[in-house]
Amino acid sequence: MKLRLQPWFTDSCTTFLNNLFKWYPNCIDEQVSVLEWGGGNSTLYFLGKGCRLLTIESDEAYITNLLDVSRGLGFKVTSISHPQDAVSKLSEFDLTILIASDFKEVGEAVFNLQNWSIIVNDGISRKDVIDAIITRQCPSIIVLDNVEFCANWGKLERSSGHTDRVRRYRHILRDPNWRHYIFEQVEGREGHSVPDSTGWEAPQRWSSGVLWPHDHLLAKLMVSHIGLPVVTVDALDDADLDTLSQRCPFDWGEMKWLVDEYTEVFNLPRTFE
């Protein structure tokens, strides 16, 4: 069942993800898998996009709500307490919730389960999750919420006092091995943000980030800030340029086309809808 639900990311970050899901699953030719640190609206959002999730969550109320709502919508869901149990559950359930309150309870075992398409860092032990992503050189798209932790001006919040976490946020965003976009909810009067599409107005600067390794498919396709690729897979190795002079013959000496300017040969195949 498709859901229309806003995750707790900034509006422009959600727009990026919405557009990404229009073409990315077909491009990788497999179901998108999500390792989500911190469940909530985003869990239901990814389920609605046809993803298979392993969500790590500590809040009992959130867990109960996610299980009830997901079951009510027809998804197969379960909860577990030990990472090793996830191996048998991932292929059977749409959503597996791993109950944990600290990174040490989970360790890096969950990263070994498979090559995750997307990793969401928006829950417990954010610094440890970033460390694991960097150390393991995860070939995943990373959704990093609350990038405003990096800020050193304007209205800060309590979370900004975690200096070790702030350093890790800044480190990965400055790392040349990662490409990224930072999506900030526009600030309004008195330091408050302009309300998002749900009406929420954050009391501090609010930014979400999307990152991917420098050699990831998104980098090769040169994805724009709204989540759409500039080229198709035909251009991964620039093979699309081999016949360009034949498809677009132009006399650069005379500065004129050698064919009709709007000939059908200029119509390229569209593989992304």
Q: pLDDT tens-digit profile of 113-125?
A: 999 999 999 999 9
Average pLDDT, integer, range 196-214: 90
* Region class of 116: left (phi > 0), else alpha (psi between -120 and 50), else beta: beta
Average pLDDT, integer, range 78-107: 93
What six digits make up the tokens of 171? 């480190």
Contact 249, 257 (CB under 8 A): yes
pTM of the model: 0.91
d(CA 42, CA 44): 5
| pLDDT confidence of residue 199 | 86
| pLDDT confidence of residue 191 | 72
The stretches of 137-243 forming alpha helices (DSSP H) are 163-174, 217-220
Q: Which residue reads 């001006």 in tokens?
A: 153
Phi, psi of 18, rounded to the nearest 5 degrees? -55, -45
pLDDT at 1 over 50: no
Q: 38: which residues sit within 8 A by CB, 6+ positions away?
A: 55, 56, 57, 120, 121, 122, 123, 124
d(CA 168, CA 162): 10
What six digits make up the tokens of 89? 């559950």
d(CA 185, CA 202): 9
d(CA 273, CA 255): 34
* Domain architecture of the chain: domains with CATH: 11-220 (3.40.50.150), 233-266 (no CATH)
